[in-house]
Structure 1
Amino acid sequence: MTRTQQIGVLIGLVLVAALTLLRVSDPPLLRQIRDITFDEYQRITPRPFQNTPVRVIDIDEASLREFGQWPWPRDRLALLVQRLSDMGASAIAFDILFSEPDRLSPRTVMRDVAGVDPSLLRRLPDNDEAFAEAMEGHPVVLGFGLSTDGTYRPPVKAGFAFTGESPFNAPPRLVAATPLRPQLQIAATGIGHISLNPGTYSSVVRRIPLLLTDGEQLYPNLALEALRVAQGASTYVVAAAPDAPNTLTSLKVGDFVIPVTANGELWLYTSPDVADRYISAAKILAADGPPADVSAAIEGSIVFVGTSSAGLQDIRTTALGQNVPGVSMHAQTVEQILSGRFLSRPDWADGLEILAIAVLGIVLVIVTTFVSPAFALLCGMLLTVLALAASWFAFSQWGLLFDPLAPIVCGSIVHFAATSFRILVIDRERREVRRAFGQYLSPSLLYRIEHTPGALRLGGDDRELTVMFVDVRGFTSLSERLQPADVVRFLNTLLDALSRHVVANEGTLDKFIGDSIMAFWNAPVDVGDHPRKAMRAALQMRETLAQLNKADAFGFGPEYQVGIGIGIHTGLACVGNMGAEARFNYSAVGDAVNVAARIESCCKEVGFDILASETTAAALPGFALLDAGSLGLKGKSSRSRLYAVVGGETEGKSEAFHGLLQAHEALVEALQNHAADSRKRLAAVRQKISPFTPALADFYRRLARRADHFRDIPAEAEKPISEAG
């Protein structure tokens, strides 16, 4: 890993940590996104409406037209209670506040008339008392609202039993309540709060607070109290987490166990608003009595009395995006409990989502840094699909609510940041490497440099290299006969064809020097078996040149054959960027480079096109090599043994080369011993060269004049060419 990649990973991890901490703090924006996601799930598969024994007695526009504007006199509500009770309603819950005296009561009206006898006032009917009398002995539940003024607390008509830790500080706080008329709160069988979403940031009703607390007493919700009264239950059983104070887990009322959130809320699984849920109050109060179908619908049902009239401003928004009367939300609460279709968000859901953000972020940072952006994007998309699928499956199968968007959004931010850093920094460095090395490295080597930057150490590095020099024979005389443009065209054709073999065999093109090529292997990155790859490149150059000559690719005519000389040596050299700071070249210098250049020059004297040093030949077992003698190289105090490269491994294994090698070794031995039959042995060798490169003919023709190259020369007779002049 490079330092730049380390910095990129560090920045990515810091971003992941910041996003994880952001999710831990859970700001309102994230909560809103999470709630909208769960709303969409419900819109895809809402809870189906079922004909449960729950109905809404709707004080609708038709009822207001029939009986006058709201508020109605409470003796009319008393009649409503009486008729609902006669029809067999199991509970009658009013989503209406009764905090003020009935202003339409005769006693109240006459009290404001001057001079009325007080005894007469006492004999006049009071609608609140009539309403209370109608409630006596009937399962009526009244509602109270929340207030920030006063100290009123409504009476609690039910008992509470607890399991686990104390639950008194878990539910939402009740500061004060709107007072109920004294006679009404005494007559009511149950009293519950009607608040649907106290203290929430959204107008959408998603969770219903089933309990409120003042720190000493719990207060049930209107729907919960209606369910209790309908069953004739007297006690709620509140279950709290055994090892987590102020954390509720469930409520039991009568035969029903209700899973709740930690603060006692019920996730509302909303069903569409349908007309079958409502019965107009006008039908109940009809002069000739309610119709038979209405009586059948009311019998045994829990009924909620409320209003859908827009003018009375009790309209709420559901998770399905529908605007419905507030009273229907209480009815849906009971419907959901009766159906057993619950939604729940486990206590460990937050921890799981936070862990998902951290893990997903770390994976994307690593993947984006070390693999291609396209693959990282594919991984991100796959993880996104998996998160959505897992969240949806949990919702559709078990009613569990897990937020997929927080990990996805945070993962997208991390992926965008990591990709941007890579494009702006990491890939910029790779582009610079590609720009610097792309002209003289094979794609495979270039890929290794880009993805293994630690292998590239610039600025001077001692490495064992196999160095190759290639030179065109007779170029000076050839260029004298050609126009400059023709010379350039010739060189471009030849050098392009030959240099391709260097790149194809994982070599590095160092430079073009006029009509010459310098290349080396095993830098800037390690290349395994580099002498063998260099020699294969040389043999391929020989074949390519023969094809070019045969096809007259240079336009010189069949009578002129272009020739080259190739010198190859393996040894230690210093390789790196060399030159000025503003302009430099990646190159190699050292003794190995000089020896390779001198060996290429010896091709003229030896009369062969490919010569290799003894160190290179030792690394080429199985190749078709012939001893070319020991030659003095310029700048060297001793002679160097060179080898003529006849062919590759295929030729080296052939019977023809085996015979040639035996004849050649016999000739070398005769030359070393000054044997009289040297000429005879030379003739025998010449008879065996026909299956191989035509260059062998000139090689053996010159060998007759190079007998000294195969004989030992006393050390004192060997002098550097520089000393010999």
Structure 2
Amino acid sequence: MTRWAWAVPLGALIAALTLVVLSPVPLRTARNAVFDQFQRWYPRPYLAPAVRIVDIDEESLRRVGQWPWSRTQVAQLLAGIRAQQPASVSLDIMFAEPERRAVVEGASAAGGTTGAYPTGPAMALSDPDRALAEEIRRGRVVLGFALTGSGSRSEAPGALLTRSGFVAIGGDPVAALPGFTGSITNLPDLQTAASGQGAMTFMPDVDGLVRHVPLLFNLQGQPVPSLTAEALRVGEGASGYVARTSPGEGGLIDVRIGARVLDVDQSGALWVHYARAQPQRYIPAWRVMEGHLDATALRGQLVLIGTSAQGLLDLRFSPLGGIIPGVEVHAQAIEQIVSGQQLARPGWAPAAEWLLALVGGLLVGIVALRARPGRSSATLLVLGVGVGVAAWSGFRYERLLIDPSGPWLAMLAVFTPTTLMRYRWAERRQRWMQSTFSRYVSPNLIDYLLAHPQALELGGRRQRCSFVFTDLAGFTARMESMDPAVAVTVLNTYLDRMIAIAFQHDGTLDRIVGDAVAIMFSAPVPQADHEARALRCALDMQAFARSYVDELKRQGIEFCETRIGVHTGEVTVGNFGGDTMFDYRALGDPVNTAARLEGANKYLGTSLCVSEETLKGCPEAVTREIGQVKLSGRSAALRLYEAIGLKDRGSAEDLDYQWAFDQLRAGSDEALAAFEALALSRPRDGLVCMHRDRLRAGHRHDWIELATK
């Protein structure tokens, strides 16, 4: 790898750290997705805090009447709640215009025109707005208003009468607050009667989910509270707000409401930790109006009046999934405050996330440069999981919002180009090695050496392997009668296809000696099914060799029969040689035995001779038993078989031969007659003829001794 390789991970890390600082929209979207998932894994436990929603639900609309209700009916609802002695009552509803019914009736009573607002005695008789104002004045009621004009165009704000004070500690926080240029307010009489007014406006994220609830807004340079903040302030009996800000224009740190200090983000908003839907959070409005409520159900409670009716279109999306009424967002924000379960994203969180991104990116870069892809991937996974678990633990146990997406981005940004660079470098090196050595050794051996370079050292290990030896019968003599050019072409084609078959079965080319080929299985890579692989390879080689003889015969070329031996046993495999050169091969008696089995075919009348050791791992093999054969130079006999085929390829047992062989093994006098009959019907069956000739010579057993190799 070149000297400048370090520049790749370093450049990627610098770019990632810059993105973490700038926090573009995709990164903020990822952060929101992580925090949403945390909430889904661990919603806020519902501790039945002193917050209740009086709900204008579908049943209330059915019983009382369709919306909008008369101001007299709203006053009746407020009177029923006031009788319960709540801490405060906040309306997530606006009354921006006089009630149309009052205008019409007032004009008629005064003898005026339709549309005139009633005055004097007529107003006293028919002004439900005044009746509502009187009821609001009797209780601790917070009214909601709407903010408009969040763009740059200036609008004249409505006549908003605020009741709360505002104190700033540090810099001026107003510029950091969400800015609006206008408002839609309640009727002046209602504002005058109310204990407080708060903006009902939400600030959904780009995906429409409400994750934050602002406590303060900027209305043409003046701070105004939200409905959530006012409900809490009036309920706590506080006179105003104290906002602590960072020096300069750093934004807000926290907001004090009475004795409560609330952690907020730089724009003065709370992160809402949502709880699951709870039926006890809601009280239907009709129950209050009809007096079907326990006398102390709302005593000391922070009460919000809103609607869950779908037709009134006050519905919001929550991170937990699904849609909830807008009034519940306010309620959930207040619940987490009064129950001490507020989420916090401390001011040190961005710096901690940047530091984690720096350290994680450096570690991943160092490992990715020096280690193999598997180890560097494991490092990335461990560090990524560690950061995620730390962020999750902070959320679960400390209610801290620590964003792991920044460190994840940095680590992945470093890992990806560095690993790709190493991969391309390694790929070029492997292509060079493969192109160099593929002409000399087996592909699986090349793959093994690329994955295990240490295997290139001299040495070996004990390994149970299977071997396939092939040879052409009489090819040396055949070559003398063939044109040399034709002989070389025919032999090269034959060897190429035979070796290709071996490679198809993941065999390793052990050696080529003239027209003989030696194939090894289960080395260098261990293969649990090496016996079955060896036998299948031998059968495919036999099938090709026979078809190749027929193909050449059609061309007028006489070729030779292929003899094959297959055996299995424990050998020493590894690199043997010296400093000048070495060779990867197997050494041991099973190698020699496999070669002897190939040669034994000539005496046994077979073309594919396989040992019992190999067949132990070949349950699908279809064979004919040859007998107990003592090879030249061996003290013990081997039980040998002639391979016919495989059951899964449709090969069938030779039952006639098996019956005749059973008679031979038992020493029965019927054996000779049985093999005479078989030989008569199968004059070209070499194995049958071999047993017949032995029986004619007086042998009455399956013990065969071969005197020559």
How far 1:380 sits from its partner (Å)?
1.4
CA distance change for structure 1 residues 114 and 188 in 2, over 3 Å: closer, same or farther?
closer
**SS in structure 1 opposite 2:376?**
helix
Contact 2:56 2:308 (8 Å CA) reproduced: yes
Q: CA separation in 2, counterparts of 1:320 and 1:182?
A: 39
Q: Is 1:249 the counterpart of 2:250 in the alignment?
A: no
Post-superposition shift, 1:121? 4.2
Match of 1:19 in 2: 16
Q: How much does 1:231 deviate?
A: 2.0
Asked if 2 retains the 8 angstrom alpha-carbon contact of 1:211 and 1:220, the reply is yes
Match of 1:80 in 2: 77
Tell me, yes or no, if structure 1 residue 322 matches structure 2 residue 322: yes
Structure 1 CA distance for aligned equivalents of residues 54 and 406 of structure 2: 42
Match of 2:460 in 1: none
SS of aligned partner of 2:101: coil
Alignment of 1:160-239 (within 5 A): 160-197=166-203, 200-214=205-219, 216-239=221-244
Find out whether 1:364 has 2:364 as its counterpart.
yes
Q: Taking structure 2 as the reference length, what is the TM-score of the superposition?
A: 0.60
Q: Residues 255 and 448 (structure 1 numbering): CA distance in 2 closer, same or farther, change over 3 Å?
A: closer
Query: Pairwise mapping of residues 105-504 of structure 1 onto structure 2 (< 5 A)?
Result: 105=102, 107-111=103-107, 115-116=111-112, 121-122=122-123, 124-148=125-149, 149-152=155-158, 154-197=160-203, 200-214=205-219, 216-241=221-246, 243=247, 245-286=249-290, 289-292=291-294, 295-433=295-433, 436=436, 489=513
Aligned partners of 1:210 and 1:220 also within 8 Å: yes
Provide the rounded CA distance (Å) in 2 between the counterparts of 1:375 and 1:349. 30
The answer on whether the counterparts of 1:141 and 1:189 sit within 8 Å (CA) in structure 2 is yes
Q: Partner letter of residue 144 of structure 2?
A: G
Question: Structure 1 residues 122, 390: CA separation in 2 closer, same or farther (over 3 Å shift)?
Answer: closer
Cα displacement (A) at 1:196? 2.2
- Provide the C-alpha distance between the structure 2 equivalents of 1:502 and 1:329, rounded to a whole number of angstroms: 72
Give, in angstroms, the shift of residue 323 of structure 1: 1.4
For the residues of structure 1 that align with 2:401 and 2:514, how far apart are their CA atoms?
Answer: 75
Q: Could you tell me which amino acid in structure 2 is paired with residue 266 of structure 1?
A: L
The Cα of 1:344 is off from its aligned counterpart by 1.5
* Distance (whole Å) between structure 2 residues aligned to residue 112 and residue 37 of structure 1: 61
Residue 703 of structure 1: aligned partner:
none
Residue 224 of structure 1 aligns with an amino acid whose one-letter code is A
Asked whether the equivalents of residues 430 and 450 of structure 1 are also in contact (C-alpha less than 8 Å), the reply is no
Structure 2 contact 199–226 (Cα < 8 Å) conserved: yes
Q: Distance in 2 between matches of 1:84 and 1:449?
A: 80
Secondary structure, counterpart of 2:30 in structure 1: helix
- Matches of 1:448 and 1:84 in 2, distance apart? 77
Q: Contact (CA 8 Å) 2:181, 2:220: kept in 1 or not?
A: no
TM-score by length of structure 1 reads: 0.59
SS in 2 for 1:202: coil
Query: What is the identity, as a one-letter code, of the residue corresponding to 2:429?
Result: E
Please tell me whether the aligned partners of residues 349 and 402 of structure 2 are also in contact (alpha carbons under 8 angstroms): yes
SS at match of 1:144: strand
Question: Per the alignment, in what secondary structure is the counterpart of residue 238 of structure 1?
Answer: strand
Contact 1:304 1:331 survives alignment (8 Å) = yes
Change over 3 Å in CA distance of 1:393–1:202 after alignment to 2: same
**Any conservation in 2 of the 1:168–1:246 contact (CA below 8 Å)?**
no
Deviations 1:479-528 (Å, cap 9, x if unpaired)? xxx9999x9949999xxxxxx9996577243xxxxxxxxx9xxxxxxxxx
Give 1:111's aligned amino acid.
A
1:46/1:324 CA distance change after superposition, 3 Å:
same
Question: Which of 58, 75, 95 is equivalent to 2:92?
Answer: 95
Q: Alpha-carbon deviation of 1:61?
A: 0.8
1:37 is matched with 34
Amino acid at match of 1:72: W
In structure 2, relative to structure 1, the CA distance for the partners of 1:373 and 1:449 (3 Å cut) is closer
**1:246-305 per-position Cα deviation (integer Å, ceiling 9, x unaligned):** 42121221222211112111111111111100111101111xx3432xx32111111101
2:55 counterpart of 1:58: yes
3-state secondary structure, aligned to 1:72: coil
Answer yes or no: is 1:507 the counterpart of 2:582: no
Alpha-carbon shift at residue 390 of structure 1 (Å): 1.0
Q: Secondary structure at the match of 1:251?
A: strand
Q: Deviations over 1:210-256 (max 9, x none)?
A: 11123643211112111111122112222223x45342121221222
Q: Which runs of 5+ in 2 are unaligned?
A: 150-154, 455-478, 489-510, 518-571, 597-709
SS at match of 1:157: coil
Residues 417-437 of structure 1, C-alpha deviations (whole Å, 9 max, x = no match): 333332233431254257547
Which amino acid in structure 2 is aligned with residue 291 of structure 1? L
Q: Deviations over 1:179-198 (max 9, x none)?
A: 22110111101111111226
Distance 1:220 1:418, change over 3 A: same
CA distance in 1, matches of 2:202, 2:515: 88
Match of 1:561 in 2: none
Offset, 1:153? 5.4
Q: How far apart are the structure 2 equivalents of 1:488 and 1:40? A: 63
| SS of residue matched to 2:296 | helix
When the two chains are superposed, the root-mean-square deviation of aligned CA atoms in Å is: 4.2
Are residues 123 and 237 of structure 1, via their aligned partners in 2, closer, same or farther at CA, if it must alter by over 3 Å? closer
Pair 1:410–1:221, CA change in 2 (3 A): same
Q: Bigger CA drift: 244-253 or 70-79?
A: 244-253
- Gap change, CA 1:350 and 1:123, over 3 Å in 2: closer
Which residues of 2 match residues 528-677 of structure 1 at below 5 A? none
CA 1:123–1:449: 2 relative to 1, 3 Å: closer
Does the CA contact (< 8 Å) of 1:169 and 1:246 recur in 2? no
Structure having the higher Rg: 1
- Give the match's secondary structure for 1:136: helix
- Where 1:87 maps in the other structure, the secondary structure is coil
2-structure distance, mates of 1:81, 1:19? 56
8 Å CA contact 2:182–2:220 kept in 1: the answer is no
Return the offset for 1:124. 3.7
Describe the SS at the equivalent of 1:239. strand
Residue-by-residue CA offset, 1:199-218 (whole Å, 9 max, x unaligned): x3232111100111236432
Task: Give, as a single letter, the amino acid of the residue that structure 2 aligns with 1:274.
Answer: Q
How far did residue 86 of structure 1 move?
Answer: 1.6
- Paired residues, number: 483
